[in-house]
Chains A and B, each alone.
Chain A
């Protein structure tokens, strides 16, 4: 499993953003909401982190149903991974991915959360309009 495989997956399951040509770390949002960033650099960083979170936690852990993320606020990015139910093995797999992301993005603190959907639709669990759905398993 690698980033190329993930890109292939994205072509079949497009998220609400797309990569702009020539820069794989720059994303263009396909939603109406304007990004709440002061600079293009911050927006690019945030989009890159969300992309990594979607890949590392959403795509790479088969049990994860969806991943939500909230833009960096006061140096903290909030992330929610939705799983079907509580399963210690799955949670440990997600923690391993969280640690990888923490090490990858040194200037950002992360508020990782794992939520058991227990049969509910992921979109019903997170109602905050400032939280973006970054990965949804189909």
Chain B
């Protein structure tokens, strides 16, 4: 049995802030460093989205699939669907820095 951990709204926001602080500490002089900063900032943004869902519905989607669908179906944030879909490829280990910037 799998159990998905649910953070509170404030915990998600705290995680987001921590991720952003960590991202700012990474050396971006190499492509690998840039890729990591993008990845961490993506997850920082993700925590803000999760905080939004928790505040609206009491719980947040736990998988990318459910989250993408939930974003599209929420009129307040559906405009973020394309950006979420684009940056979701960061979660795919086959994604490359060229794909992100092109």
> Which residues of A are at the interface with B, using a C-beta cutoff of 8 A?
76, 78, 86, 88, 91-92, 95, 98-99, 102-103, 106, 109-114, 116
Residues of A within 8 A of B65 (CB): 76, 78, 109-111
Chain B residue with the shortest CB-CB distance to A113: B92
Closest to A110 in B: B69
Say whether B68 contacts A112, CB under 8 Å: yes
Residues of B within 8 A of A86 (CB): 98-99, 102
Query: Does B27 lie at the interface of the complex (its beta carbon under 8 Å from any beta carbon of A)?
Result: no
B69 touching A95 by the CB < 8 A rule? no
Residue B17 CB within 8 A of the other chain: no
Once A and B bind, how many residue pairs between them come within 8 Å at the CB atom? 45
Q: Check A102–B72 contact: CB distance below 8 A.
A: yes
Interface centre among B72, B99, B102 (most CB of A within 10 A): B72
Docked complex Cα distance between A110 and B99 (Å): 23
CB distance from A61 to the nearest CB of B (A): 14
When distances are taken between beta carbons in the complex, the residues of chain B under 8 Å from A99 are 72, 78, 81
Q: Are A88 and B72 in contact (CB under 8 A)?
A: no
Q: List, in ascending order, chain A residues with CB within 8 A of B28's CB.
A: none
A111 vs B62: C-alpha distance when bound (angstroms): 13
B25 interfacial by beta-carbon distance below 8 Å: no
Cβ proximity bits B7-20 to A, threshold 8 Å, 1 near / 0 not: 00000000000000
Contact between B64 and A102, CB atoms less than 8 A apart: no
List A contacts of B81 (CB < 8 A).
95, 98-99
Contact between B69 and A102 (Cβ–Cβ < 8 Å)?
Answer: yes
The smallest beta-carbon distance between B61 and chain A, in angstroms, is: 8
User: Which of B70, B85, B86, B98 has its CB near the most chain A CB atoms (within 10 A)?
Assistant: B85
